[in-house]
Every structure is written in C-alpha cells, then in structure tokens.
Chains A and B, each alone.
Chain A
C-alpha cells in the first residue's frame, strides 16, 4: 500500500509498467535546469549521446564543452567554470567519473568548494553486456567519503530528472549516479522530491493492527527499489508487515527517517546495486550503529567484479534479485527474534 500523498505510479506492480533509463531522466532534467538558469553549463567526455546530453548540446551550444576522453580534464575544467560563477554538469561513465578522476574531484571541487555536479552513468551490473570494466560498483563509497559532497541515487528516470533540476539549485558539490538500463517507473511527476529526504514507498496494510510496528523494513536505493517493493507486497500477502523506504539521497542521509523506521521495525534489510562495502547500506549501518543498533542484512555485490550478461541475469547471479531480498528478510527476522 502506498502513501497516497506520494502519488506513485499506479501501474508500479503491473507487468506492463513503463520502463525508462535514469540517464534519460538526467538529459531531460539538464534541459529543464538550463532553461531556468543560464549559469548551467554542460561538459562531456566523448559520451554525449550515451549520457543523454545531445539535446542540451543542440539547444545550448555555447554552454557545452566537449573535452574528449579525458575525465581528469572534465572535472578540473568544470571546477574552473564554477569558479567563474557557472553551475557545471560534468558527465561520463561512473567508472571514470568519479572513478578515474577521484583526486581531481576531491581537490578541485570538494576541497575547493565548487558547485560542480558530477554525473556518473552506467552504474551497477545492470550495465550488462559491456562487462565488469564498465559496471561501476564502487562509486557511492568513493563519493560519500568526500567532505561536502552530496550523493544522489535516483530510483527511476523521473526522479533522476527531478534530482538534476534540484542539484542545479544548490551550491554543493554533488554526485548523481545513473543506470544505463531501462528500469520500471515507480514515481510520477507529482511525487515529491527533495534532496536529503527519504520516503517510505510501501506501508504494509497488516501493519495497522500492530500499532505501526513492522516485522522488517527494507531500505533501497536506485532501480532495485522495484524489487524491494515486490518483496514487501509478497510478504504482505503472507501476513508479514514489511515496509520499504526509498533513499535517493545517500549523503546527507535522512538520519531521522532511518532511525524512526528502524525503531518501528527492529530489523533492516538494505538493497543497492553497489559493493556492500562502503555503499548505502554502510551509511545506514553507520547511522544505526551509533543511534539504534538493530540487525541489518545487506543486499548488494559481495566484493566481486561483474561480467557480461543480460541485466536480469546479472542481478540474479550477483544476488540482488527478488529471491535474494526475500531470503535476506527471512534471515533478519530470525536474527531479530534471537
């Protein structure tokens, strides 16, 4: 059951739910942000089409810089543009940006406090056939550790659009991670979005008789939120109360919301398409270990690199499918009782 105020996609659980990629949403958001604010500029490292910057480039040619296959240059040029009052969006694949150019992001953007927006596309194993070299699984860890950096992981194309527009309005260094693959649209244009705000996307109906107490809460980020929602609905049919929270801003973490949820559930499962080490689950664990220790199960990649395959095959192989989340919920229920 969704909170009606969130105005989620009514077709969210339908087999013909619309699918679009988060990178498409970014491209739309960049156009929107650029029309609203002439300080917005775009830079790309020879991946204009793939990062969906083509429309921006065509509409605002004077505000677009092509740096070639040079990701260190991409962000340092962006830093210089920000120093002159621009709001630069610097886009490439996440493996290279913020991967290859991490120190430049640290020094010239975060240490320098410049409002550059790092756009990393092609995150997770769902990149698919390109293989492990192009599947970013470490980007959350290396960005959320940087002082001043805001880290956003949109759940779908619509949220990616809103995150892009919202990021253009802040003076914070910001990282937005985007999936390559088309994934289910869970939100609508009317769904509220705010940087730093986590929202509960699924409240089990059975929960009313338990005065708001839950058996388990799942906290998910990115497109795997859809799998988490499916799992919660299945548990609901079986009389178990499992809520699902969407964390689209990993840093700053909405600590109050996470603690409140953990208080209601007493057990947490985190779900993300990222290494378990250092990812969103780690951020949740840091928060709860300090404030309200509860058992946590982590669904994510277990210290491995990806490989070629279809996105669906890879999500299953690396343990992030519906069955894996279900098993994690069952495990954490046992740990909670122990």
Chain B
C-alpha cells in the first residue's frame, strides 16, 4: 500500500494525537515510562493506521498480522494507539495503572485480551514472535502472508534471551518476521553505550543472518520504505533499527535518559509536557 503525501499527513496527525494521549495518561497515572513511549509514537501510528492487517471490531480475527510488544514498559503508546484505532474508548486511557483498570502498568492479556502477549520483563518478546511465526508455518507453510512484527527496545538487547530468539529466527529463515528496534540510545540508568555497549549493532544482526536496515524512526517515508523492503525479503528475517529521539516532541525532555522511567509530576513539568502538544 503506497504512502501518499496525504496519508503521511494523516499519520503525522495520528502520531500527535497518540503523543498527547500518552502524556495525559501518564500525568494522570503519576508513574510510568515517558521517553520510549513518545519516541515510538510515529512507528505505532504507521503500523496501526497504515501497515498492519487488523480489525479493531474483530480483535481475534485469525488472519490478522501479529504485533508483539516486547518492551512492555512503553505500553502507554500501545494503549493510546489501540484507543485511537477504535479498540476501546479513548476515555479509558485515564485509568492507566489504576486499580481494576484494563490498562495495567505493564501489558497483561488477562486484562486486555486483544494483546498478543503480556510483557514487561524484558528480552522475551522476540522468541514469542518467533514461536508464533513457526506455529503459523506448520499450518500455512513457508509462503504464509501473515506478518509477524516484534517491537523491541535497544536496552533489552542486553538480555541473552533476545539473541537466542534472533539466532533461531536466522536458522529457520523466518521471512515473515520483522523486528523493529527502538534505537533511542537510552536505558533506565543511562546511555546504552555506557551501561552495556551494543555497537556495532548492525553487524550483530547481520551475523545472525538477518536482513538489516537502519532508518530515521520519525520519518514516515523512510519507515514505509523499510517495511516494504522487509516484506520483500524472502530468505531471512528482517530487522529495522529505527533511530528515535527519546521523549520526542517535548524539547525540554528529549534525549535525556532521566525521562526513561519517570513521568511529569511537578506543576512545572506538567506544564512543559502539555505545552508541547497543544
């Protein structure tokens, strides 16, 4: 599906709405993870409003594409996107992290059955997406057109489980699996290259026999081209390393690892965050 300039404009508008909802829900929740959620808003807008085969009225539609959010802590952006896509009322976003809410602090299928998996503990999403694609292969063969997406953080590439999944996907040449990495260079305690260096990241994925692309994660034309290329690769799984800006959209908070695991709470911080998306 071609990305027309009009569609790109619409996606920009959706991404702004999603970011606004992320900030409002986190201000209301008074805790959570801001930076990654804002950084991935463009990717979420692109996937749910352009690329994914899905139906908000039929969340369990068998032929839907599968999206696994491995780094569950950025769930405010998933919740906001699902709400704006029509899965549940946008007003539910105010209940994030509150007692009895379907919007748990980290995603839980018990509460939100439309999720493909529960997540939060890092490093296990890719293997689940690999398992889903392998199960689909036993039923529909290697030419299945169902797409499997796994969204990961760069920080969770510290986990051995992530690379175990990557090795198996490379071995099995899972052509309909695309991993999208949020390369924002931060994790909860600092910059990734200080905590546990990941570079050369492109070489690492190539070494496990993946098709690797590196793009600007805030540019819809680049995102669209990369997803198109990933789907066209038929002999290996694909990874798209999307360079993103943590806390994207709030200039005062951008690129600061301190905003990985917190949210605006003081009146000044709340004012800064709200002003950015007015």
Specify which chain B residues have a CB less than 8 angstroms from the CB of A78 in the assembled complex. Answer: 131
Question: Could you tell me which residues of chain A, from 90 to 108, have a CB within 8 Å of some CB in chain B?
Answer: 103-104, 107-108
Alpha-carbon distance A63/B135, docked complex (angstroms): 8
Q: Determine if B135 and A112 form an interchain contact, defined as CB atoms under 8 angstroms apart.
A: no
A188 at interface, CB cutoff 8 A: no
Within the complex, what minimum Cβ distance (angstroms) separates B110 from chain A? Answer: 7
Given A68-B167, A76-B124, A81 and B131 contact (CB-CB distance below 8 Å)? yes
> Which one of A84, A103, A113 contacts B135 once the chains associate, using CB atoms below 8 Å?
A84
Specify which chain B residues have a CB less than 8 angstroms from the CB of A65 in the assembled complex. Answer: 134, 168
Alpha-carbon distance A76/B120, docked complex (angstroms): 14
**Closest partner residue, chain B, to A70 (CB atom):** B164
Given A72-B124, A76-B124, A112 and B131 contact (CB-CB distance below 8 Å)? no
Alpha-carbon distance A104/B162, docked complex (angstroms): 12
Q: Determine if B118 and A108 form an interchain contact, defined as CB atoms under 8 angstroms apart.
A: yes
Interface size class of A (residues with CB under 8 A): 20 to 34
Number of interface residues of B (CB under 8 A): 30
Within the complex, what minimum Cβ distance (angstroms) separates B123 from chain A? Answer: 8
Alpha-carbon distance A76/B127, docked complex (angstroms): 5
Specify which chain A residues have a CB less than 8 angstroms from the CB of B128 in the assembled complex. Answer: 76-77, 79-80, 83, 108
Specify which chain A residues have a CB less than 8 angstroms from the CB of B109 in the assembled complex. Answer: 112-113
Q: Determine if B121 and A68 form an interchain contact, defined as CB atoms under 8 angstroms apart.
A: no
Q: Determine if A72 and B121 form an interchain contact, defined as CB atoms under 8 angstroms apart.
A: no
Alpha-carbon distance A67/B164, docked complex (angstroms): 8
> Which one of B120, B121, B164 contacts A73 once the chains associate, using CB atoms below 8 Å?
B164
**Closest partner residue, chain A, to B133 (CB atom):** A80
Specify which chain A residues have a CB less than 8 angstroms from the CB of B133 in the assembled complex. Answer: 80
Specify which chain B residues have a CB less than 8 angstroms from the CB of A107 in the assembled complex. Answer: 118-121, 124
10 closest A-B pairs by beta carbon, nearest first, are A80-B131, A76-B127, A73-B164, A84-B135, A80-B128, A77-B131, A70-B164, A81-B135, A80-B132, A72-B161
20 more A-B contacts (CB under 8 A) besides A67-B164, A72-B123, A108-B117? Answer: A41-B135, A41-B138, A70-B168, A72-B124, A72-B164, A73-B165, A76-B127, A76-B161, A78-B131, A79-B127, A80-B135, A81-B134, A82-B131, A84-B131, A85-B135, A86-B135, A104-B121, A107-B124, A112-B117, A112-B118
21 contacts between A and B (CB under 8 A): A63-B138, A68-B168, A70-B167, A72-B161, A76-B165, A77-B128, A77-B168, A80-B134, A81-B134, A82-B131, A83-B117, A83-B132, A84-B131, A85-B135, A86-B138, A107-B120, A107-B121, A107-B124, A108-B128, A111-B110, A112-B109
